[in-house]
Structure 1
């Protein structure tokens, strides 16, 4: 078995076949699997095989390299194209009340087919998991790892104790159209503050983060 050769690769780089044995085999090259494989491979004495069911997104002209074209990836060969179970109280405008759930079938997983939006989830979600028995998965437990992977120095919330400044993923704020100022004014008039979408209480008009440079 050989990896498929691409025109951008140096000649002969894929002539070496897969090894018969590896120290680690990581199944799934999505956001989590890619990071796990990267961290394991930092030990040069360790051999790591990363498997992905989908295709590569490393071609220079690949659509995944152009952020504003991400909607064209929904329903493509790079999307698993899952459907939810039939909903009882919502999705009445959808066929059989089932929601379409795009999930990346490509190197990088769903992080390669979304809009690069960087949202951790609410503190309540993690604390609820811990309350239900997932010890070590509370918000205060996972926060140091979120901070470790991001670099938010070029944002208005860079001084927040909830943000990291030295990680490999550069975070930027989405800059919208002139309508953005009207949205902010309207939110303030009805009592909603402007908050970081990754604050521990993200209720209000959100400052949305994007992965500005690229991931692992």
Structure 2
């Protein structure tokens, strides 16, 4: 058994940041254990290649939820990164932090140090924003953020004009002074390659002598002496191994695997653990509870003008964009499918935007087996406008099924289980049609393909979004942060309540979900968590 100062479980968005920050001074030794393999794969590094990784078991946990009554009984597919960089290596790369009010609410809930003014310096330090520095933005940081305003498909301009006519202001920066409005998304790429947390943080850290990264290392249990975490047990190449942590074990395995590992190790709901024959180290009822996720849906139209379908579907088009990417690292393959977007309120009485928009200048109505059909879109000119809810009130849970660490946990999202969530989504999908009805869009639309013009009544619209909605891959809060152990899992310094030498640092600690994509806030959580660890061990 080797001993390190810090053992980090998971090389995802937060874990990569921790590895770099905790090792930077040279004072501490760091071991990072990642269940998956390397991120050095072509379709990982090519931005639009995430269509190929969507179902790939070599890089993806490929979780399946329980059949969900709120989703018309569907069992949703949950891709989560299983490689260096975690989900930052297979996501859509949109860089949105969340609204000021989101983080202020975290602090007001009893989590000092997590208000907007507290986390803004971390966000600015993380960023190297191509658009330049200002009051809200940073340059010179490890994460390069690409400004796509001059690169998007021409249809994105029509979408922005239509959104403005539908009542949304144009917003040049969703991470600036205000989040509300329509605009172009900035994404985490650099020179046409994905800027994952592994590329930004872990790869530089791996050059240091005090950092060791082991891939294909599946952590199966946290080891304790009393209530102090002293190390981990893990499986690698068919062997059971152990590593000791002289200072702390830091769990950064994500919103699915972090609660799973705590439960397997004897920290979690007492009735669950006892029923599975797992010795209880510490009964903590909220481990795996309070699951929150953004649910999304696309509306799709057939157009009268060419879209990306006409270049990405035919063999000659694939060859053309492929050569352009290989030679110049530019073109559609260097970008995300979500080029335009925005945030809006379903009701003027809402205190802040409660819905997020996504504009895609292509369509994927016709399914393709084995991959998300980003690289093989429909044979006709199509485009989609999608949306997802920002702060759903529905709550689910993630619980282990057995003491077997290799069995996938039971994921129960419980989507659309409140009247509030159903009502706001109904208003939201109506707004999609309102955007499409504006002249800049209406004049190029041949017909609505999904859900189709026959779906008009409230009941039919609700039935449609229950059948066609699904996760937009932002699960959080399963190891929720808060001051009360009866309602939370970690305190404001991310220490597991009732334990010592053990923290959770990833998106599972979010007290509540944020408005927007969660990767930026996950990286910020790793940055803030590292600051706290270093302060406590200075």
TM-score by length of 1: 0.78
Q: 1:88 Cα deviation (Å)?
A: 5.2
Which of 93, 96, 99 aligns to 1:116? It is: 93
Q: 1:176 Cα deviation (Å)?
A: 1.7
Q: Which structure: greater strand fraction?
A: 2
Q: 1:119 Cα deviation (Å)?
A: 1.7
Which of 134, 159, 183 aligns to 2:159? It is: 183
Q: Give secondary structure in 1 for the equivalent of 2:144.
A: strand
Q: In structure 2, what is the Cα distance between the partners aligned to 1:124 and 1:45?
A: 37
Distance 1:40 1:126, change over 3 A: same
Do the aligned residues in 2 keep the contact of 1:104 with 1:112 (CA within 8 Å)? yes
Q: In structure 2, what is the Cα distance between the partners aligned to 1:84 and 1:132?
A: 30
Q: Which has the higher contact order (CA 8 A, sep 6+)?
A: 2
Number of residue-to-residue matches in the alignment: 189
Which of 123, 136, 143 aligns to 1:169? It is: 143
Q: 1:122 Cα deviation (Å)?
A: 2.2
Q: 1:149 Cα deviation (Å)?
A: 0.6
Q: 1:159 Cα deviation (Å)?
A: 4.9
Residue 69 of structure 1: aligned partner: 49
Q: Give secondary structure in 2 for the equivalent of 1:197.
A: coil
Residue 48 of structure 1: aligned partner: 30
Q: Give secondary structure in 2 for the equivalent of 1:166.
A: coil
Q: In structure 2, what is the Cα distance between the partners aligned to 1:80 and 1:135?
A: 34
Do the aligned residues in 2 keep the contact of 1:29 with 1:109 (CA within 8 Å)? yes
Distance 1:103 1:44, change over 3 A: same
Q: 1:146 Cα deviation (Å)?
A: 0.5
Residue 63 of structure 2: aligned partner: 82
Task: Kindly provide the CA deviation profile for residues 17-61 of structure 1, in whole angstroms up to 9, marking residues without a partner as x.
Answer: xx7111111111001101101111112242211111111112xx4
Q: Give secondary structure in 2 for the equivalent of 1:162.
A: coil
Distance 1:105 1:45, change over 3 A: same
Q: Which runs of 5+ in 2 are unaligned?
A: 202-538
Do the aligned residues in 2 keep the contact of 1:194 with 1:207 (CA within 8 Å)? no
RMSD, aligned α-carbons: 2.1
Largest Rg, 1 or 2: 2
Q: Which runs of 5+ in 1 are unaligned?
A: 1-18
Q: 1:138 Cα deviation (Å)?
A: 1.5
Distance 1:192 1:29, change over 3 A: same
Q: 1:81 Cα deviation (Å)?
A: 2.4
Q: In structure 2, what is the Cα distance between the partners aligned to 1:85 and 1:136?
A: 36
Q: Give secondary structure in 2 for the equivalent of 1:33.
A: helix
Distance 1:107 1:183, change over 3 A: same
Do the aligned residues in 1 keep the contact of 2:47 with 2:189 (CA within 8 Å)? no
Task: Kindly provide the CA deviation profile for residues 78-97 of structure 1, in whole angstroms up to 9, marking residues without a partner as x.
Answer: 122234565555x33xxx24
Q: 1:74 Cα deviation (Å)?
A: 1.3
Q: 1:207 Cα deviation (Å)?
A: 2.5
TM-score by length of 2: 0.33
Q: In structure 1, what is the Cα distance between the partners aligned to 2:48 and 2:153?
A: 15
Q: In structure 2, what is the Cα distance between the partners aligned to 1:49 and 1:178?
A: 47
Deviating more after overlay: 193-202 vs 79-88? 79-88
Distance 1:160 1:45, change over 3 A: closer
Do the aligned residues in 2 keep the contact of 1:79 with 1:105 (CA within 8 Å)? yes
